[in-house]
Structure 1
């Protein structure tokens, strides 16, 4: 028999649960972020469908009348848009380039600057408006151009290059016609 009793076996070291706790916490945070994102997308998708609400409960309703709401089957009224004409806009010219040749005049590149006058009326976003304007000051006579207004805010045009007889020539512009296509 040995003089000393045998040493008790050394206890197994406990495995740290720190990694498991960190991984579990990270998974919970990710799940919360995903759930929050889904809720935000669902509530902010902009559709006008009514949310589903449960109907009246049959329990505890003995002897009482349940309120029932009806949705209107009438279509929403069609939006009305302003009838645009030449007086619906103001127009100016923005000089983009100018090159003068002494007494021989100047070559001037201009672009239209349109402003819609009646801010209280809506412009039909489905219509395309052709806005015809006349630029005066070119040595060969008036220059007629057309700009296109679409989506209610997008203006497309081509810059105009005119030649003036002198550097003192005043260049002016005037809207001559507005026509609507579609809408």
Structure 2
């Protein structure tokens, strides 16, 4: 048997391409970004919630060598202060809706009815009313035999109403009563 020599081919200058795999690069970058963003959001929420309970946390001594900038101290101060509540400073008639509740009704055939009605009011404004102020709501009731009736009620502590029931007579038992807030005045 004779020996044969086999020539070894020269090495390429660049490595050969790796076997084709699914490209996960963009997916992994997105996944990493999502995890990092979630971590930052969780940290902000933790600091915000923890900052609102600053009085419950034990005091932490800061050494004189700790480096804090005035801007960082101001930001920390703002994070611990409770946000100031914003109220509707100028509520209008359109911020209220009203219906009438019939509390007493006596009808006389085709002659009409005597009714006692009470207003049911709802506040529909975007901002809450200031609980420290009183509001005077003027409203107009339509459907009475004698024409429209104008009444005023007082609203305080955002939910406490003071009013007098309205007594009226309708021309028939089928008369529809309507009510509308016409004016709102701040009283304190």
Of the three residues 47, 55, 61, the one matched with 1:50 is 55
After superposition, the Cα gap between the structure-2 partners of 1:67 and 1:153, relative to the gap in structure 1 and judged at 3 Å, is farther
Give the drift of 1:56.
5.1
SS of residue paired to 1:174:
strand
Residues 54 and 81 (structure 1 numbering): CA distance in 2 closer, same or farther, change over 3 Å? closer
Which of these residues, 137, 142, 157, is aligned with residue 136 of structure 1?
142
Match of 2:175 among 169, 175, 179: 169
Is 1:102 the equivalent of 2:106?
A: no
Give how far 1:173 is off. Answer: 0.8
Tell me the TM-score normalized by structure 1. 0.59
Pair 1:81 & 2:84 matched: no
Match of 2:48 in 1: none
Displacement of 1:53 in angstroms is: 2.0
Unaligned runs of 5+ in 1: 1-47, 58-63
**Alignment TM-score, normalising by the size of structure 2:** 0.58
CA distance change for structure 1 residues 76 and 181 in 2, over 3 Å: closer, same or farther?
Answer: farther
Determine the C-alpha separation between the residues in 2 that align with 1:108 and 1:150: 27
1:128, 1:175 → 2: CA distance? Answer: 16
1:22 corresponding residue in structure 2: none
Q: Which has the higher helix share?
A: 2
Shift of the alpha carbon at 1:117? 1.6
Provide, for residues 22-48 of structure 1, a one-character-per-residue CA deviation record: whole Å limited to 9, x for no partner: xxxxxxxxxxxxxxxxxxxxxxxxxx8
**Shift of the alpha carbon at 1:80?**
2.7
By how many angstroms is 1:78 displaced? Answer: 4.8
Shift of 1:126: 0.8
Once residues 155 and 84 of structure 2 are traced to their aligned partners in structure 1, the CA distance between those partners, rounded to angstroms, is 22
Pick from 116, 126, 150 the counterpart of residue 123 of structure 2: 116
Report deviation, 1:137: 1.5
Partner of 2:100: 93
Per-residue CA distance 1:44-72 (angstroms, 9 max, x = gap):
xxxx8835626358xxxxxx824679574
Q: Please list every run of 5 or more consecutive structure 2 residues that lacks an aligned counterpart in the other structure.
A: 1-52
Aligned length, in residue pairs: 128
